[in-house]
Chain A
């Protein structure tokens, strides 16, 4: 069964702290995507990781991909309240198919 597992599922952190969200997947995939979703809103694309060792950064967020370990990380640096959202990773292991993780709900406390 194709699975994408994120952990933690829920994360409450203080402003200014660092933390990492992990995304493990069970099948071969050279592509991994990170999305952000605010409550009641749609999904917004954050990062597209297309090869082993890919690293992308945008502001306080940095994503990386290790295809050999089937692992992607989303690192948060010096969290701010505006980063509070649910973060999803997704892989595209085959023709037309996308498998999403269940999401990590991040709450940044002032």
Chain B
């Protein structure tokens, strides 16, 4: 299995609070992605990174920001959590552009 971990695995937070999710990889892959998974929507790309300090927006980026200061870590921040951000968040990595992705175990986030 690809070495990808996510933390925390579960989190309950209140509306308006900031939240940071962490994705850590040991594969030295260049590309990293954050997705959210909601019933009826499949996986939707939030943000992605194509290198250290190189990030860009996906299709559902509003309300989220990311940072990547090291190859192995990709952080997703919800600046002020809202109930619509209750979801399961998956991190993924790939070694080549557009190549096969490997997914982390996911973080279940509940915003009350």
Binding site for B on A (CB under 8 A): 4, 31, 33, 35, 41-45, 48, 88, 90, 92, 94-98, 100-103
Are A96 and B101 closer than 8 Å at their CB atoms?
Answer: no
Q: Contact partner of B31 among A43, A44, A96, A103, CB < 8 A?
A: A96
* CB closest chain-B residue, reference A9: B40
The answer on a CB contact under 8 Å between B50 and A96 is yes
Could you say which of B45, B98, B99, B102 contacts A95, with CB atoms under 8 Å apart? B98
Complex CA gap A90/B99 in Å reads 11
- The complex places the Cα of A96 from the Cα of B54 at a distance, in Å, of 12
B positions within 8 Å CB-CB of A: 31, 33, 40-45, 48, 50, 56, 58, 90, 97-106
CA distance A44 to B15 in the complex (A): 32
B98, B101, B104, B106, most chain A CB atoms within 10 A: B98
Task: Indicate which residue in A31, A95, A96, A102 contacts B42 across the interface (CB closer than 8 Å).
Answer: A102
Best-surrounded residue of B56, B90, B103 (most CB of chain A within 10 A) = B103
Residues of B within 8 A of A102 (CB): 40-42
